[in-house]
Amino acid sequence: MDAQTIIAKRIALELQNGTLVNLGIGIPTRVANFVPPGVKVYFQSENGLIGTGAVPEEGMHHRMLTDAGGRPVSALPGACVFDSAMSFGLIRGGHLAMTVLGGLQVDQGGRLANWKIPGKMVPGMGGAMDLASGAKRVVIAMQHSAKGKSKLVKTCTLPLTSARPIDLLVTELAVIAFPDGKATLMETAPGVSVQQVLAATEAELVVPDRVPEMAI
């Protein structure tokens, strides 16, 4: 199973029935492919769509249905579209139960950096600053390392997206929460040891006596 699938499948287990959930661009959009049976979730894209479904198969997308990054999405029966003002009213008004965002860095206190100088790594902050501040729960889908360097760092060197700490980080190696502002190892991925997670992580991790394996 590839890294992005591991991350998306594990985050899908965090979905709660009947809630409004935003999926950011990149790995987060894949979460819609793994909604657990019996769970009904209303996915929102900040460009003005509620009711997004799984990523469409190649050749089956509609050019008018995209996520916030312009990538194709599907729409479920009953989906609705609206303008940007309404979309950000939902986000800033605290109506999202959860947002799933990508990340460039997360520090050991749970602060997120997921944008850089325009024209470099990603094209600016976008709606992430609103989502990271306005959603009731912020979950980050991020690969553990990039070019051999940990993306879970002691201190972010990229611009922060929000002063508010995130709630949960899921990588292909681990699930990490931030109780009391401390990065805490909650789960390891199948076949991954605690020692492997620690070796791949720059940040200081709190390790409980028992760390279960991810259920994916």
- CATH at residue 164: 3.40.1080.10
Quick check: is 151 in a domain?
yes
Output the CA torsion 153→175→49→164 (10° steps). -50
Quick check: is 23 in a domain?
yes
Q: What is the spatial distance between Cα 7 and Cα 170, in angstroms, rounded to a whole number?
A: 6
Q: What is the spatial distance between Cα 31 and Cα 26, in angstroms, rounded to a whole number?
A: 10
Quick check: is 216 in a domain?
no
Quick check: is 212 in a domain?
no
Residue 191: its pLDDT value, please?
95
Confidence of residue 125 (pLDDT cuts 50, 70, 90): low
Residue 135: its pLDDT value, please?
95
Q: What is the spatial distance between Cα 87 and Cα 46, in angstroms, rounded to a whole number?
A: 6
Q: What is the spatial distance between Cα 11 and Cα 26, in angstroms, rounded to a whole number?
A: 14
Quick check: is 28 in a domain?
yes
Quick check: is 208 in a domain?
no
| pLDDT, mean of residues 118-142 | 81
Number of domains the chain contains: 1
The pLDDT of residue 118 is above 90: no
pTM of the model: 0.91
Q: What is the spatial distance between Cα 200 and Cα 22, in angstroms, rounded to a whole number?
A: 29
- The secondary structure of residue 151, as a DSSP letter, is S
Give the residues across from 98 on adjacent strands: 21
Quick check: is 210 in a domain?
no
The pLDDT of residue 161 is above 60: yes
| pLDDT, mean of residues 175-202 | 97
Query: Could you confirm whether 14 is annotated as catalytic?
Result: no
Q: What is the spatial distance between Cα 44 and Cα 158, in angstroms, rounded to a whole number?
A: 27
Quick check: is 205 in a domain?
no
Q: What is the spatial distance between Cα 175 and Cα 135, in angstroms, rounded to a whole number?
A: 20
Per-residue model confidence as pLDDT tens digits over 24-69: 888 998 998 999 999 999 999 888 899 988 778 777 777 778 877 7
Q: Which domain holds residue 141?
A: 3-199
Neighbours of 42 (CB within 10 A): 17
Which of these is catalytic: 14, 46, 187, 204? 46
Q: Give first-to-last CA distance, the chain, whole Å.
A: 11
**Inter-residue contact 138 to 164 (CB < 8 Å):** yes
| pLDDT, mean of residues 91-113 | 95
